[in-house]
């Protein structure tokens, strides 16, 4: 491909799929088989226990993204494909950060960061803290950058974004 960035941009898809064994691996296999990278994939059951909803983030150009959507629509277990890329969506990601080898001053700083970023301190030890963040992926990226700069030893676990169409016209 040529061009500066080839129209590459972050894309979001929400899928309703049959809640069956093997569907997750089939969908992720579709991406890996075509060398499409998954930035994030989350899945959980809906109000109907026979249906799961997936939220997928990928980076691609327009043409590749259209191919992805067509292939997903042709997959037997896929009930509905929703392109969230240019839609007003409520989108959040859960993230845990464990700060280890803390001094007393580090703990004070952690509590201040938690307050600033609307996080919760959910576990506390003699020399460590566990923080829970539920916010956009972009905000979580910023928190990780800050925490890496501020503390010697952190451990990060991210759950991937989930989203739903917004009722009002508010963005992610």
Each residue's pLDDT tens digit, 38-57: 888 999 999 999 999 999 99
Q: Which neighbouring-strand residues pair with 80? A: 16
Residue 77 and residue 26 in contact, taking contact as beta carbons nearer than 8 Å: yes
Above 50 in pLDDT, residue 103?
yes
CA quadruple 12, 16, 21, 27: dihedral positive or negative?
Answer: negative
pLDDT given for residue 17 in this prediction: 96
Mind listing the pLDDT tens digit for each residue in 108-165? 999 999 999 999 999 999 999 999 999 999 999 999 999 999 999 999 999 989 988 8
């Amino acid at each position: 491909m040529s061009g500066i960035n080839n129209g590459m941009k972050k894309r979001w898809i929400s899928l309703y799929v049959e809640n069956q064994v093997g569907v997750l691996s089939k969908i992720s296999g579709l991406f890996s088989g075509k060398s499409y990278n998954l930035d994030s994939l989350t899945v959980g059951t809906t109000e109907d226990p026979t249906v799961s909803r997936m939220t997928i983030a990928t980076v691609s150009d327009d043409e590749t993204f259209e191919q992805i959507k067509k292939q997903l629509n042709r997959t037997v277990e896929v009930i509905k494909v929703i392109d969230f890329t240019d839609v007003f969506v409520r989108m959040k990601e859960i993230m845990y950060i464990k700060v280890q080898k803390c001094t007393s001053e580090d703990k004070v700083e952690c509590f201040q960061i938690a307050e600033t970023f609307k996080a919760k301190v959910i576990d506390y030890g003699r020399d460590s803290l566990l923080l829970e963040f539920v916010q956009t992926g972009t905000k979580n990226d910023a928190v990780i950058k800050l925490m890496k700069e501020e503390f010697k030893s952190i451990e990060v676990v991210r759950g991937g974004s989930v989203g739903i169409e917004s009722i009002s016209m508010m963005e992610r």
